[in-house]
Amino acid sequence: MRAAVFIFIGLLLIELQPAQGQGEKCYPDARCRRAKAGKGRVLWFAGKRSSTCYKTLVTGCGKSGMNSLFDCKNWCISDD
């Protein structure tokens, strides 16, 4: 039982830590292209010169971009 509790706490702590290289997802990469209306998917990116996030309709971004405003603010904008 004690081992199960330690495993659960360990997994929980791993999930709460930001992923290694997460900052790479905060900005569009070279493959990201703005999509025409109705094509592509909505992703959130960090603004380059301010502590804000913006959403845009894009195609071809691979692993760049965040799926929600919360994720963008939580992982890309530091309040420290």
Q: For 24-67, how does the pLDDT look when each residue is reduced to its tens digit (9 = 90+)? A: 788 888 888 888 877 888 999 998 877 899 999 998 888 889 99
* pLDDT, position 19: 45
Name the burial class of residue 47, with classes exposed (0-12), middle (13-18) and buried (19+) by CB atoms within 10 angstroms of its CB. middle
In a domain, 8, yes or no: no
* Inside any domain, residue 49: yes
CA atoms within 13 A on the CB side of 66: 23
Using alpha carbons, list the distances in angstroms from residue 45 to 8, 31, 60: 32, 14, 14
What is the residue range of 32's domain?
20-76
Tally of domains in the chain: 1
Q: What is the pTM of this model?
A: 0.64
| 28: in domain | yes
